Amino acid sequence: MKITKRTGAAVIAAALAGLAGAAAAQVAADAKRPPIPASRLGQVTPGKENTPNGGRPEIHDIAEMRQVGGYKSPGGVAYSDLAAEAGGKLWPVTLYYRCKNTPGGTSIPAKPPQPIEVFDGVYSIGTDANNIWAIKTSDGVILIDALTTEADAKEFIVGGLAKFGLSPKDIKLALITHAHGDHTGGVPYLRSLNPDMKVGMGELDWHALPKGPNDVTLTDGQKITLGDFTITTIVTTGHTAGTVSFVFPVKDKGVPHMASLYGGQGSPSDVPSLLNFRQSLNHFADFTDLVQADVVLSNHTVGDDGLTRVAQLATRKPGQPNPYVVGREGVIRYDAEWRACLSADIAERVSEGATYDPLKVGIPITAPPRRQAP
């Protein structure tokens, strides 16, 4: 390797030029992204537009929940109070997203997070909306989700991997949490770069992608091992029919932890689907309890306030805690908040006149529309 000696002024000038070039490239990349449709655009908190999460609104406590939550029925108010008590201190962005019972969009543009190593060999390489997780094992990379388009996959997944000395050829397995386009859209492009990449998805979601001969149908409680790494899949229907979630071990500077990642974030709108979703949360909690999970990850930044946590990681000093490690209490409160929000939605829908047959959960009888599923 050849080293060229330069003066201090030349070094500074080159650094400034590099920063300017990077800024210009980011502006150009942002300009190529389509704007969020008005129907999906959420409300930004005034004065917080320049925070890492783009000013996403928050609910911190019962008082704020009662002010903006929108619940009117006795059951809806009681359950949303419980949600605020359970998660308001740790999960204020997530609480607003899951438990603000009013119509309207939730998408808010923000600056994409920098690619970063969150745990030892576990990298966040997603967008401002979608977390993408790349897990480096002794036999290649496991990728969780694949973004929306070829352009996104190229910019964030391929570009993010490159920052850590990895490439699409290293991806041995892409695990897709569910069949929505913002999680499956990059798969064809990644396959074009790496035809040997296997894809795994829940059985009832395979309609979203052509299934290759070596691809994997993910089943409940299945353990998938690649090299020195094992990930457990859990079927958690609700967001889609075939949504899957994961628990897996991670290390933070050599200290072991157990991560949990629920595969579907947005709540449905009809009562039977809400009941199914709540049952899936109960099922997932069985696994997080058994493995004593103390880390919450998400496939959407709104699901773990990932933009804020990545920003905190970027300035983390030696000895400071990893913001993704929330402890057993944090995982339990995350689950309790979510379940209480679903329960509040169920109570509110029934108070509005929705009916269902408890013996045929999953078959809506009458369910007047209330809000768009995020």
Q: What is the CATH number of the domain that holds 231?
A: 3.60.15.10
Look at residue 356 and tell me if it is in a domain.
no
| 302-320 per-position pLDDT tens digit | 999 999 999 999 999 999 9
Q: Which residue has the tokens 């029934």?
A: 350
pLDDT of 10 above 90: no
**For the chain, percent of residues with pLDDT exceeding 70:** 83
Confidence of residue 13 (pLDDT cuts 50, 70, 90): very low
> In the chain, how many domains are there?
1
pLDDT of 129 above 60: yes
pLDDT the model gives residue 101: 60
Confidence of residue 287 (pLDDT cuts 50, 70, 90): very high
**For the chain, percent of residues with pLDDT exceeding 90:** 71
Look at residue 192 and tell me if it is in a domain.
yes
Look at residue 6 and tell me if it is in a domain.
no
Structure tokens at 214: 């070596």
Look at residue 312 and tell me if it is in a domain.
yes
pLDDT of 14 above 70: no
Task: Report d(CA 93, CA 88) in Å as an integer.
Answer: 8
Task: Report d(CA 109, CA 49) in Å as an integer.
Answer: 10
How many C-beta neighbours within 10 Å does residue 245 have? 26
CB 133 within 8 A of CB 171: no
Q: Residue-wise over 104-138: b if at least 16 C-beta within 10 A, else e?
A: eebbbbbebbebbebbebbbbbbbbbbbbbbbbbe
Check residue 126 and report its DSSP letter.
-
Check residue 373 and report its DSSP letter.
-
| 189-200 per-position pLDDT tens digit | 999 999 999 999
Residue with more model confidence, 201 or 30: 201
Q: Phi, psi (5° rounding) for residue 370?
A: -120, -45
Look at residue 190 and tell me if it is in a domain.
yes
Mean of pLDDT values over 96-122? 82
| 100-110 per-position pLDDT tens digit | 865 455 677 78
- Of 258, 248, 201, residue with least CA distance to 223: 248
Question: Does an H or E element contain 83, and which?
Answer: helix 74-87
Mean of pLDDT values over 262-275? 89
Look at residue 241 and tell me if it is in a domain.
yes
Q: Phi, psi (5° rounding) for residue 177?
A: -70, -35
Look at residue 353 and tell me if it is in a domain.
no
pLDDT of 243 above 50: yes
Side by side, the strands of the sheet bearing 133-137 are: 116-119, 122-124, 133-137, 140-144, 171-175, 198-202, 216-218
Look at residue 62 and tell me if it is in a domain.
no
Burial zone of 11 (CB within 10 Å; 0-12 exposed, 13-18 middle, 19+ buried): exposed
- Of 33, 161, 96, residue with least CA distance to 302: 96
| 21-58 per-position pLDDT tens digit | 433 443 344 445 556 666 556 677 788 888 888 888 89
Q: Find the domain containing 159 and state its range.
A: 116-334
Q: What is the pTM of this model?
A: 0.85
DSSP 228-291: TEEEEEEE-TTSSTT-EEEEEEEEETTEEEEEEEES--S--SSHHHHHHHHHHHHHHHHHHHHT
pLDDT the model gives residue 45: 79
| 251-264 per-position pLDDT tens digit | 999 999 999 999 99
Q: Phi, psi (5° rounding) for residue 173?
A: -150, 125
